Amino acid sequence: MTQQTLVRPAAASPQPPRPRRRPPSFRRQGGAAHVFLLPFLLGLVLITAVPLLASLYLSFTDYDLLHDPELVGLDNFRRMAEDERFWASVGVTLRYVLVSVPLQLAFALLLAVVLDKGMRGLALYRSAFYLPSLLGSSVAIAILWRQLFGHEGLINAVLGWFGIEGESWLQNPDTALSTLVVLNVWTFGSPMIIFLAGLRQIPEELYEAARVDGAGRLRQFSSVTMPLLTPIIFFNLVLQTIGAFQAFTQAHIISGGQGGPLDSTLFYTLYLYQQGFQSFNMGYASAMAWVLLVVIAVVTAGHFLLSKYWVFYGDER
């Protein structure tokens, strides 16, 4: 494959001498590994595992936070199946994930590639594109977004120049979710930075070798950049998907915690939060959380399985 021929030359010369020590045995590396993992294991037990298991237990209970939890078996899950608003929130979240994640990543990748070339004022552009992410979860966003998409917002003002009279995009159940998609895309700074870091790690010699071989810009991109970037693309894809499934803050801020209008921005975790913190149905909320976890785990496992076909790691033996 062309990819391997491009990578091998730099690393394979000269041939390393035969190692004088034997490769480490499993047990040996296990010991070292657990020293490295000590903080992680402590954190796992104290901060993660116990609350994780507690919430699993709670999902089989009726717990209103004010009294002790009461076991109710599968009641919460049965309720979920019949709960209209639950299914509404599933629909909203799925639509959000399927639309905003690819859009955001495409933007981020595009701009990372453009900004990676030597351009004057590079640092300025990078910072400018990152600024929105800094503000993305701020309380002020609600006002800013109303300023853009509200009844008397900028978008409607611009539409007014063309004689189109607009209504508030935020108050229309058919368009409210789209404003949140735009918000997610607007805050593409984080994946962009990660793409930039990944681009930075691609050694210059590979591009030189490709140029020597006569490859043009586009060919360099497809043969050098993309393959070596795939682990990073994969990372961004997995984590942005997980993040989109869990999207909460922005919907909470913009809809005032309501998920409106008419539940059109009722994200799954927003509904979960309402059930747990407003209706005091913490058992039901925990059950919802575990359903979400299973779904995300399945989707992520899917990502990992598919990754064999398109992700290329430099440390493959």
Partner 1 sequence: MRAGLRHAVMCVLVVLMIYPLIWMLVSSFKPSNLVLSEPGLIPSEVTFDNYRDGWNALDEPFSLFFLNSLFVSVGSIVGNLFSCSLAAYALARLEFRGRRLYFAITLVSVMLPLHVLVVPQYIFFSQLGMVNTYFPLLLPKFLATDAFFTFLMVQFIRTIPRELDAAAWVDGAGPFRIFWSVILPLMTPALVTSAIFTFIWTWNDFFTPLIYLTSTEMFTVPVALNSMMSSETSSGVGALFAMSLLSLLPVLVFFVTAQKYLIRGISTTGLK
Partner 2 sequence: MDLVTRRRFLQLVGLGAGMTAVAACGGGSDGTAIRYAWWGDTIRQQKYTAAIEEFVKQNPGIEVRPEFADYDAFQERITVQTAGRDVPDVFWIPSPHVMSYHDAGLYRRLDDISSLDLSQFPAEQLELYKIDGELNTLPRSVLTAAVRYNQTFLDEAGAELPPDDPQHWTWSGLQEFLIDYARDAPPGRKAIHYNAQADLCFEAWLRQHGQDLWTADGRMGFEPAALEGWFEWWEVLRRAGAATSLSEQEGASPEWEVVGDKVLMTFGNSNHIADEAPMFPDYEFNLRMMPVLPDAAPGHRFGYLSRIAIYQGIDDDKLDAAGKLVNFNINDPGFLRIVGLSVGAPANPRMLQEAYAVANEDEKKMLAVVEQEMAEEQRPRYEAPPGSGTWRTIMIRGVEEVALERASVSEAAARVIAEIDRELGQAK
Smallest gap from residue 281 Cβ to partner 2 (A): 7
In this structure, how many other beta carbons lie within 10 angstroms of the beta carbon of residue 79?
Answer: 16
Q: Which is nearer to partner 1, 99 or 238 (CB)?
A: 238
Candidates 5, 9, 32, 306: give the one binding partner 1 (CB under 8 A): 32
Q: 134-143 long-range CB contacts below 8 Å, 24 or more apart?
A: 134/189, 136/183, 136/186, 136/187, 136/250, 137/249, 137/250, 137/253, 139/253, 141/183, 141/250, 141/253, 141/254, 142/253, 142/254, 142/256
Cβ contacts of 37 within 8 Å, gap of 6 or more: none
Candidates 11, 66, 218, 305: give the one binding partner 1 (CB under 8 A): 11
Supply 13's token pair.
Answer: 């010369």
Cβ contacts of 191 within 8 Å, gap of 6 or more: 104, 105, 108, 109, 236, 240
The pair phi, psi for residue 90, each rounded to 5°, is: -60, -45
Contact region with partner 2 (CB under 8 A), list: 122-130, 196-204, 280-288, 305-313:
280-288
Candidates 3, 190, 258, 307: give the one binding partner 2 (CB under 8 A): 258
The verdict on 265 binding partner 2 (CB under 8 A) reads no
Q: Any alpha helices (H) in the chain, and if so which ranges?
A: 2-11, 26-36, 38-43, 50-58, 75-82, 84-116, 122-135, 141-149, 154-161, 176-186, 189-200, 204-212, 217-220, 226-245, 249-254, 268-273, 282-310
> Within 13 Å of residue 23, how many CA atoms lie on the same side as its CB?
2
Choose among partner 1, partner 2, none what residue 66 binds, the Cβ cut-off being 5 to 8 Å by kind. partner 2
Candidates 9, 98, 102, 147: give the one binding partner 1 (CB under 8 A): 147
Residue 284 CB burial class (10 angstroms; 0-12, 13-18, ≥19): buried
Contact region with partner 1 (CB under 8 A), list: 21-29, 82-90, 91-99, 216-224:
21-29
CA-based R_g, the chain, Å: 25
The verdict on 101 binding partner 1 (CB under 8 A) reads no
The verdict on 90 binding partner 1 (CB under 8 A) reads no
Residues 63-82 that bind partner 1 (CB under 8 A): 65
Choose among partner 2, partner 1, none what residue 138 binds, the Cβ cut-off being 5 to 8 Å by kind. partner 1
Candidates 93, 108, 188, 263: give the one binding partner 2 (CB under 8 A): 263
Residues 264-303 that bind partner 1 (CB under 8 A): 269, 272-273, 276-277, 282, 285-286, 289-290, 292-293, 296-297, 300
Q: Which is nearer to partner 1, 31 or 214 (CB)?
A: 31
The verdict on 10 binding partner 1 (CB under 8 A) reads yes
Candidates 4, 5, 138, 279: give the one binding partner 1 (CB under 8 A): 138
Q: Which is nearer to partner 2, 110 or 143 (CB)?
A: 143
Write out the residues near partner 2 by the rule CB under 8 A. Answer: 64-67, 146, 150-152, 167-168, 170-173, 256-258, 260-263, 274, 277-282
